[in-house]
Amino acid sequence: MKGMDIAEVSRRTGVPASTLRYYEERGLVASIGRRGQRRLFDPAVLDRLALIALGRAGGFALDEISSMLTPDGLPKMDRGRLDAKANELDQTIQRLTAIREALRHAAKCPAARPMECPTFRRAVRLAGAGRFEVAPLAPFKAEAVSVTRRKRRTGHVRLE
Amino acid sequence: MKGMDIAEVSRRTGVPASTLRYYEERGLVASIGRRGQRRLFDPAVLDRLALIALGRAGGFALDEISSMLTPDGLPKMDRGRLDAKANELDQTIQRLTAIREALRHAAKCPAARPMECPTFRRAVRLAGAGRFEVAPLAPFKAEAVSVTRRKRRTGHVRLE
DNA sequence: CTACGAGTTCAAGCCGACTTGAGGTCAAGC
DNA sequence: GCTTGACCTCAAGTCGGCTTGAACTCGTAG
């Protein structure tokens, strides 16, 4: 009978069994049945987990991710929503880029206090310039979710 | 007398008083004394809060941020450490960029299932390719930390 | 028959960054 | 003198995303 048990899914994706159960409970993945009391998963769950990992890595909340996936596989999102997400991410990227530059500059700037340096100040300003909100970015641990199928309160920041 | 009370700091930065007390408790900011039982803050705390916000926006933990700041102002970090942080951020940025591209592609890709599309799979792979770990990015709400300074009583310059 | 290992359920715990609530103090204004 | 409102402290609560632990059930090997 086809269907992988939880250990195999875990092994192949790097996602702990406890997380898989949790995801199932949250409706993010579904098992295709049981053999005895044990869950059986369709291999398609591997792709699904990869998509979930993608979303998590992008800083999306689980609820948000589940709203992006249909029960049976895919992109339940319309173009607009996807684009919106992409833009959101783009804002984040720009913000992070400004911060990275601020750090790099701080590393070599001679000013005693960074805030006295115009370049640094500018970066700080850019970093905080947007007025959007961004989901927290998930801790990204290596290891996980192979996509290959072989065998198969509130930090506030304002500027003026 | 010099020194701003907590409400003024809050008003000028957007950081809630509760957060300021919390930051003080965590050692991220210090008050310069009390008037009665009330805290008094030096205007320099405004810069400090801007830096803290910068760090938070960059996904750094409070502990990490405090390890980057000296009690009296700033750059306690050596060049190497700053560069390391910048590189870390750079990894994050690349990862997010890959995810953004995956989303943009998914928005217009005709493939029924995203995972069947090589372009998408490649993006997913890139997104997950690194084997590093990244701190969570703080939720980014607008409103806060004005770096603005109208009266520069202390003589040092802050953001316009 | 028994023991073992791998699975199961359910409730509770953990972490970080704050927020909230109860109860207390104090200076100013009526 | 009394009220008000802004501040104070300290403990506990919140939220997301899991993890952990206790207690139980199976199927299989010895």
Confidence of residue A138 (pLDDT cuts 50, 70, 90): low
Q: Is the pLDDT of residue A78 over 80?
A: no
Q: Which of A62, A82, A140, A150 to probe the B interface (max B CBs under 10 A)?
A: A140
Q: What is the pLDDT of residues A116-125, one digit of tens each?
A: 888 888 877 8
Asked whether strand C has any atom less than 7 Å from the CB of B80, the reply is: no
Give the pLDDT confidence score for residue B95 in this predicted structure. 92
Per-residue burial over B120-142, b if 16 or more Cβ lie within 10 Å, else e, is: bbbbbebbbebeeebbebbbbbe
Q: With both helix axes pointing from N to C terminus, report the angle between B44-57 and A79-108 in degrees, rounded to the nearest 10.
A: 130
Confidence of residue A22 (pLDDT cuts 50, 70, 90): very high
Task: Check: CB of residue A157 under 8 Å from CB of residue B144.
Answer: yes
SS3 B40: strand
Confidence of residue B140 (pLDDT cuts 50, 70, 90): low
What percentage of residues in chain A have a pLDDT greater than 70? 76
Q: Which of A103, A108, A131, A160 to probe the B interface (max B CBs under 10 A)?
A: A103
Contact A143 B137 (CB under 8 A): no
> CA A84, B137, B13: angle at the middle one, nearest 5?
95
Q: Search chain A and give the residue with CA nearest B102.
A: A86
CA distance B30 to chain A (A): 18
Interatomic separation, CA of residue B22 and C1' of nucleotide D3, rounded (Å): 30
Interatomic separation, CA of residue A135 and C1' of nucleotide D22, rounded (Å): 35
